[in-house]
Amino acid sequence: MAVLLKGRETYLNLSVIKTNTNPITHIDPRVKMIHTLIVGVLLFIVRSNEGGLLNAAFMAMILIYFGLYNCALKLMLYTIGLYALMQLLNFIGGAAMIIGVTVYIFFKFSPVLGIYYMMTKSISVSEFVNALEKIKLPRSITITLAVTLRFMPTIGQEMSTIKESMKTRNIPLNLWNVLKSPIMMMEFVMVPLMMRFVRVAEELAAAAVVRGIERPGQRGSMFEIKLRLQDFIYLFVVILFAVFLYCFERGVIR
């Protein structure tokens, strides 16, 4: 932190303030965005169940690298649970195959849950905005992505609030009620959720304007954004795994 004194005024040079994060596990947000794009491409490449498990396991290792142990455990339990349910439905056959297709879609997109944890738990909004400005994205896109990043964690909080509200009305949100009355449960969940989404979006947009996100010109930042050696190593490992998974899906590596 550099404090410059000039007369009676004190100026804080925000451009040289560094965070107290671990320098080994601190990865540039721009590299994480490239990782997100690679995961999106892999979703269309990976078709086998084994490839899906490998993809989810790699994302769990990434979360462990960032110290998000609980998130890594949740990701693996989610993926393995869907895989076990998918195998059970395949064994039953018949009408259960219709549900099996839905389960397979959730299983296939399980690495997205890991990306969600990585982007929301290991990156602050200020750091994310600074990284987007470094790559010279238009301000409109920067603001949209920043609000979206801040908006995503509120989904789980709002769902918890809705579940508690339904419990007080003696309508617990569980699998049995969903299967018994899917339309009614969708109404009880989606209507208040959409109303809360609109209100939360308005609150986040107002908060962003108050904090000066629309201010023209170069913005100061408390985070020093630059590529380091660990960023290139991290990106190399991600690309290497993507190449390995591509070869695995094509039968080159078995």
Per-residue pLDDT reduced to its tens digit, 150-199: 767 777 777 778 878 777 877 777 767 666 677 777 777 778 877 777 77
pTM: 0.71
Name, of 121-135, 198-212, 214-228, the range with top average pLDDT.
Answer: 121-135
How many angstroms separate the CA atoms of 215 and 110, rounded? 38
- Mean pLDDT confidence for 75-82: 93
pLDDT at 25 over 80: no
How many angstroms separate the CA atoms of 222 and 232, rounded? 23
In one-letter notation, the amino acid at residue 166 is: M
pLDDT of residue 73: 95
Residues 45 and 246: beta-carbon distance below 8 Å = yes
DSSP class of 170: T
Taking each helix axis from N to C end, the angle separating 96-108 and 49-65, rounded to the nearest 10 degrees, works out to 40
Taking each helix axis from N to C end, the angle separating 110-121 and 29-45, rounded to the nearest 10 degrees, works out to 170
What residues pair up with 4 in beta bridges, in sequence order? 11
Mean pLDDT of the chain: 77
* Lowest mean pLDDT across 5-14, 141-150, 204-213: 5-14
pLDDT at 144 over 80: no
Let me know how many helices (H) and strands (E) the chain has, helices first: 11, 2
Bigger pLDDT: 76 vs 183: 76
Predicted confidence band at 34 (pLDDT cuts at 50, 70, 90)? Answer: very high
What residues pair up with 5 in beta bridges, in sequence order? 10
| Residue 46: count of CB within 10 angstroms of its CB | 21
How many angstroms separate the CA atoms of 27 and 8, rounded? 39
pLDDT at 250 over 50: yes
* Lowest mean pLDDT across 16-30, 116-130, 239-253: 16-30
Q: How far is CA 188 from the centre of its chain?
A: 26
Predicted confidence band at 215 (pLDDT cuts at 50, 70, 90)? Answer: low
